[in-house]
Amino acid sequence: MTGKKAKIAVMVSGGGTNLQALIDAQNSGIITSGKIELVISNNADAYALTRARNAGIKTFTVLKKQLGSQEAFEDGIISILDENGIDLIVLAGFMSILSEKFTSRYEKRILNVHPSLIPSFCGEGFYGLRVHRAALEKGVKVTGATVHFVNEIPDGGEIIMQKAVEVEEGDTPETLQRRVMENAEWIILPKATQKVCEQIISK
């Protein structure tokens, strides 16, 4: 069993800060039971693709508008995953809801990080700054991030790890977003990835 690593695909849409956290965690020995084999983006201009190339990781772009439908889009992703023998999919700021057909194919093999303590401020329509804006409007004193398995319900899968972050006086959605990333997302996403990879290779 020594040396066996779970093959990871990271799916991204934007800047790729969570991808960078995963790459850094792999380099620093936090992720030892898995290896990022490839990065898939649904946005050809995503800076995350540059981060992946800089780290020597294979990249693929799959565009729904070119393929014409959600089904064709997902089939394109599935064929890349299957051809590369991927064991685990990590959604790191992937801005496309995946269908039940896709998620059930990879049951307990897809992770997502969400910028709140689920079940607060989650589900359809809650992403990016909207989550932090909602938290501030509600007046919560503590927020954070959650890593969970992905199923057909947006943010509805089993929780793997959570980390709390305090809301500070005078926070804006932007300052809160940054603190949640630095103090929660970038810490628990690599740890949860390692944990699930360990489970995969021990089976």
pLDDT of residue 1: 43
How large a percentage of the chain has pLDDT more than 90? 93
CATH label, 6-113+147-161+185-202, candidates 1.10.10.10, 3.40.190.10, 3.40.50.170, 3.10.129.10 = 3.40.50.170
Catalytic site residue 132?
Answer: no
Phi-psi region of 9 (alpha: psi -120 to 50; beta: other; left: phi over 0): beta
CA neighbor of 63 nearest in space, from 51, 49, 77: 77
Per residue in 113-155, pLDDT tens?
A: 999 999 999 998 898 999 999 999 999 999 999 999 999 998 9
**Active-site residue, from 14, 37, 109, 114:** 114
> Domain segments of the chain: what residues?
6-113+147-161+185-202
What is the model's pLDDT at position 72? 96
- pTM score over 0.85: yes
Q: pLDDT tens digit string along 86-110?
A: 999 999 999 888 999 999 999 999 9
Tell me the H-state helices in 84-121.
100-105
pLDDT (0 to 100) of residue 50 = 98
Q: pLDDT per residue over 45-77, tens digit each? A: 999 999 999 999 999 999 999 999 999 999 999
How far is Cα 119 from Cα 139, in angstroms, rounded to an integer?
A: 16
Average pLDDT over residues 5-17: 97
Cα distances (Å, whole numbers) of residue 73 to 2, 63, 80, 87, 96:
36, 7, 11, 20, 10
